[in-house]
Amino acid sequence: MRNVVQFLALVLAASSLQAAAPLTQSEVSPTATVPATGAEAGKDVVHQLNSAFTKVFEIVAPSVVIIEVTKKNDAGENPTLNDLFFQGPQDENAPRQNPHNSQPVQSEGSGFIVRADGYIYTNYHVLEGADRIEVKLKDGRDFQAKIVGTDEKTDVAVIKIEAVNLPVAQFADSEAVRVGQFAFAIGAPFKLDYTFTYGVISGKGRSKLLATGGYSISDYLQTDASINPGNSGGPLCDIDGKVIGMNTLINGLNRGLGFAIPSNLANEIGQQLIAGHKIIRPWLGIRIESLGDDPSIRDLFKGLDKGVVVRTIEADAPAYRSDLRPFDVITQVDNSPVSSDTQLQREILKKKVGQNVELTVWRKGQTLKIPVTTGELPDDISRASNELTAPAPTKPEDSNKFGLQVQDLTREVATRLKLSVQQGVIVTDVADNSLAAAQDIQREDVITEVDGKRVTTVASFREALNKADPRKGILLYLDRKGSKTFAVLKAGK
């Protein structure tokens, strides 16, 4: 950035030379320095930029808080979101964590005041697992805070301190943010309170940066302003000192990739949490991918250029109770075209829970209209459990060509494994490095169809495989612990 400023000064100095009166022949002789008038003009611009930057800090810093969180040292348990967000080098000044040490663990994050009576926005992952939350203000005062509300899906949280007449951050419209504009981050990276860094907005609409059960809500702002552990929850500001985002993610520590939740979304969620509302979102209960994301199955959708492939339909989800099937390609939602998984999700998020939506679906060359009633997005979207169980005593059918072993699905097996499907063949083993393993086919998956032909026994499964062409791809419909999904077995040509 310093090089940008220097370059700007030189350009302005040069432009001032061009604007000056024409030079006489005697004045054209080479000179070793920039004329004083040009240098002063460039210096004035740099001074103005310097003043503008310092003004941003003076405006915003009083509303920024440092958040110190104390947590139990649950050594050996699953990592928290904070661990997943910031996977960087160990801070040499921080106390080493002994896996057998039961002493509380302390961490630090940032936040910013949004109401003069003590409401503060920060990240959910900053507070996750907190037993005690302390807030330090720019004027040196310390307060104990309580959690008002959290939303894990967007990583937004609100805390409250008992204080009045506090300085409040002002919001800008994040929709109006432009790539290339200046951006400023304030927070406490590596326990260095009120660190101020600057850069530009390097991108908008970044999605799927964090896996949340296949459900990503935020379209993040990307910046090259330096954001490190401890910046989480702090504001990302524009040149006017207004908040355009909440710093939240690091993808590649110290590599110029910082991310922020857009201010419009952060404020929308924050206001609902302050009002005491539960964050309710609609969902269909499908796992999706944009058409073309998986080149291995692209040839099976000939004649179709855009759409969203239904990979899995979750058990007991709204889509499960509709006529939607895995391998369907959704091209419209209520007549609004969708060409990517992100676009489809945005369209569904516009709906209300319990609202009927009409999906336009491509299925094996035919266009269908399928109604689905939205449900409420559950707190935990977990992948169906596939715990290995002892193989059934009957002899399995070995399909070495694909790396699959299957057997008839009997009523006894279905009851013992608590399967909702009653007909098909059940996968008893999948060979390592096989076609089946590459398609994530798993033990206890139940194969119900092969290329549109229902299979009820090992014999019908074998017959369907023999008639299929693995060079084009063999489409298998699977039931996985109640969820519906598919796999394509495709051999090299």
125 a catalytic residue: yes
Secondary structure (H, E, C), 354-409? CCEEEEEEEECCEEEEEEEECEECCCCCCCCCCCCCCCCCCCCEEECCCCEEEEEC
Catalytically annotated residue among 202, 232, 322, 483:
232
Q: What's the pLDDT tens digit per position in 427-446? A: 988 988 888 888 889 988 99
Q: What's the pLDDT tens digit per position in 224-239? A: 888 877 888 999 999 9
**CA distances to 11, 26, 34, 47 from 16, in Å:** 9, 20, 11, 16
Catalytically annotated residue among 155, 328, 341, 445:
155
> Residue 61's pLDDT is what?
94
Q: pTM for this structure?
A: 0.72
- For residue 12, give every residue at least 6 positions away whose Cβ sits within 8 Å of its Cβ, in sequence order, or none: 38, 41, 42, 45
CA–CA separation, 350 and 355 (whole Å): 10
Confidence label for 110 from pLDDT (cuts 50, 70 and 90): very high
Lowest mean pLDDT among 71-80, 115-124, 247-256, 335-344: 71-80
Domains (range + CATH), the chain: 64-87+105-274 (2.40.10.120), 282-376 (2.30.42.10), 397-489 (2.30.42.10)
pLDDT at 467 over 60: yes
155 a catalytic residue: yes
Task: Please check whether residue 430 is in contact with residue 403, taking contact to mean a CB–CB distance below 8 angstroms.
Answer: yes
CA–CA separation, 338 and 418 (whole Å): 37
Supply the DSSP symbol for 170: P
Q: What is the mean pLDDT of residues 135-162?
A: 94
Confidence label for 384 from pLDDT (cuts 50, 70 and 90): very low
Task: Please check whether residue 204 is in contact with residue 156, taking contact to mean a CB–CB distance below 8 angstroms.
Answer: no
Write the DSSP string, 230-255.
T-TT-EEE-TTS-EEEEEEEESSTTT
| Burial group, residue 64, by CB count within 10 angstroms (0-12, 13-18, 19+) | buried
Task: Looking at mean pLDDT, say which of 31-35, 209-213, 324-328, 391-395 comes out highest.
Answer: 324-328
Catalytically annotated residue among 125, 340, 399, 445:
125
232 a catalytic residue: yes
Element (H, E) at 143: strand 142-151
Q: Which residue has the higher pLDDT, 21 or 184?
A: 184
